[in-house]
């Protein structure tokens, strides 16, 4: 039986725990043993330790990685930042032995060590490479019934590609999430701004209006080019922009349409038979139409 460390991060357990429920459900349903990352902290977010120094960044990530290594597992995360930050920390520690040495010294002070053997997976790459589309198809309880999905991979899941253990063939025209949706019976066409930033993150914290304007531009393009039933998101931060951020745009009367949003983990979990109530508990844009379609409506 496969085992994996479930790295939660911050946004998923505190803002979108429905994604945490979905992650737990889908790993169970796919016969993957979840190893709890007891004591794991923030990845740490780009605006915190990484903004203080490369060593600061590396040592804070190494704390988490050492927990996984002790338990003998790789990690999976549903958050783009957690994926990017920790993979980059791994990359820096391999590239700069002097930083790794300093990290080792500080970890030793609290009786821990990290040998550099942990890979960090995102949901998409884990499903694509470790589970496989065929298995996913076999285990699905519900077909997506032609559900039209607009794909948002999230920047941190694509770049910088040299730091990642697994990636798309073309990081400027990602296909893996599209293929997962299609394997489950949906349609997920390419669109011209598929790799554009949604505006969530530091921009949203420091210049919220500009962030939402950037998001609106992307959403308008999705509406015009695809008009999807649902946006399927690879990153929990993007999910918050696509769901709660979109609700803000509606409230401010800046858009006059609604496109529901699901994390890829939520969509897959629902197809595998998860409890919809729990799997979508925190969504602000109603998902009724999407669920009806998946659960066999027309």
Partner 1 sequence: MSKHHFKEYSPHHPDVITSMEFERILSATGPTGGELKRPSDGTKPKTIAMISCVGSRDERYHRYCSKVCCMYMLKHARILKEKYPDIKIFLFFIDVRTAGKDFEEFYVYTKELGAKIIRGGRVSAVDVKPDGKLRVRGFDVDLCSPVEVSVDLVVLATAIEPPDGVEELGSMFTATCGREGFLREVHTKLYPVETQARGVFIAGCVQGPKDIPESIAQARAAAAATAALVIPGKIRFEAVISEVDRDKCSSCGVCVPLCPYTAIRIVEYKGKEKAYIEPALCAGCGVCASACPSRAITFHGFTTEQIMAQIDALTEA
Partner 2 sequence: MEEGGVNVIDLTQSDENFIKELMELGADELKECIQCGKCGATCPMALAGLEFFIKRIVHAATLGLRDILLEDSSVWGCQSCNRCVEVCPMDIKPYEVIQAVRRAAVRVESCPANTYEGLRNLYRFGHAVFPKGFEERRKKAGLPEKPPTALSFEEMRKKYQEILRNTILEEIAPFPLT
Residues that bind partner 1 in the complex, under the rule CB under 8 A: 170-173, 190-193, 195, 225
Nearest residue to 178 via CA among 210, 198, 150, 199: 150
Which of partner 1, partner 2, none does residue 220 bind (CB under 5 to 8 Å by kind)? none
Nearest residue to 80 via CA among 291, 238, 289: 238
Pick between residue 47 and residue 72 the one whose CB is nearest to partner 2: 47
Are the C-beta atoms of 289 and 229 separated by less than 8 Å? yes
Which of partner 2, partner 1, none does residue 173 bind (CB under 5 to 8 Å by kind)? partner 1
Start-to-end C-alpha separation, the chain: 37
Which of partner 2, partner 1, none does residue 248 bind (CB under 5 to 8 Å by kind)? none
List Cα–Cα distances, 177 to 49, 165, 168, 268, in angstroms: 31, 17, 10, 11
Which of partner 2, partner 1, none does residue 190 bind (CB under 5 to 8 Å by kind)? partner 1
Looking at the chain, the number of H-run helices and the number of E-run strands are: 14, 7
Nearest residue to 261 via CA among 287, 279, 237: 287
Q: Which parts of this chain interact with partner 2 (CB under 8 A)?
A: 8, 10-11, 13-18, 20-21, 36-42, 44-56, 59-60, 63, 81, 84, 106-107, 109-112, 155-156, 158-161, 171, 195-197, 199-203, 205-207, 210-211, 213-214, 217, 275, 278-279, 281-282
Task: Give the contacts of 152 (CB within 8 A, at least 6 positions apart).
Answer: 194, 198, 231, 232, 233, 234, 235, 238, 242
Pick between residue 93 and residue 198 the one whose CB is nearest to partner 1: 198
Pick between residue 114 and residue 164 the one whose CB is nearest to partner 1: 164
Residue with tokens 């300093």: 102
Q: How far is the CB of 195 from partner 1 (least distance, A)?
A: 8
Pick between residue 158 and residue 184 the one whose CB is nearest to partner 2: 158
Q: How far is the CB of 179 from partner 1 (least distance, A)?
A: 17
Pick between residue 168 and residue 186 the one whose CB is nearest to partner 2: 168
Degrees (nearest 5) of the Cα angle 138, 239, 208? 170
Are the C-beta atoms of 18 and 283 separated by less than 8 Å? yes
Pick between residue 104 and residue 225 the one whose CB is nearest to partner 1: 225
Q: How far is the CB of 210 from partner 1 (least distance, A)?
A: 13
Which of partner 2, partner 1, none does residue 243 bind (CB under 5 to 8 Å by kind)? none
């Amino acid at each position: 039986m496969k085992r994996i460390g479930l790295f939660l991060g911050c946004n998923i357990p505190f803002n979108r725990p429905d994604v945490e429920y979905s992650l737990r459900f889908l790993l169970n349903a796919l016969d993957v043993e979840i190893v709890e990352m007891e004591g794991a902290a923030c990845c740490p977010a780009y605006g915190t330790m990484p903004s203080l120094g490369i060593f600061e960044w590396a040592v804070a990530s190494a704390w988490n990685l050492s927990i996984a290594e002790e338990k003998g597992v790789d990690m999976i995360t549903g958050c783009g930042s957690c994926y990017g930050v920790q993979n980059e920390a791994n990359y820096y520690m391999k590239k700069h032995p002097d930083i790794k040495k300093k990290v080792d010294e500080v970890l030793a002070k609290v009786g821990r060590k990290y040998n550099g053997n942990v890979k960090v997976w995102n949901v998409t790459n884990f499903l694509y490479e470790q589970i496989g589309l065929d298995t996913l198809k076999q285990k699905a309880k519900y077909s997506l019934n032609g559900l039209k999905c607009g794909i948002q991979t999230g920047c941190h899941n694509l770049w910088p590609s040299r730091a990642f253990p697994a990636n798309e063939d073309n990081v400027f025209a990602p296909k893996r999430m599209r293929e997962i949706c299609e394997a489950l019976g949906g349609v997920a066409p390419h669109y011209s701004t598929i790799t554009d930033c949604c505006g969530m993150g530091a921009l949203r914290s420091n210049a919220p209006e500009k962030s939402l304007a950037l998001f609106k531009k992307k959403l308008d393009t999705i509406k015009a080019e695809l008009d999807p039933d649902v946006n399927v998101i690879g990153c929990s931060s993007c999910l918050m922009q696509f769901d709660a951020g979109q609700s803000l745009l509606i409230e401010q009367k800046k858009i006059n349409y609604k496109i529901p949003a699901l994390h890829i983990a939520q969509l897959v979990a629902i197809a595998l038979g998860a409890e919809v109530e729990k799997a979508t508990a925190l969504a602000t844009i109603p998902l009724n139409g999407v669920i009806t379609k998946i659960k066999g409506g027309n």
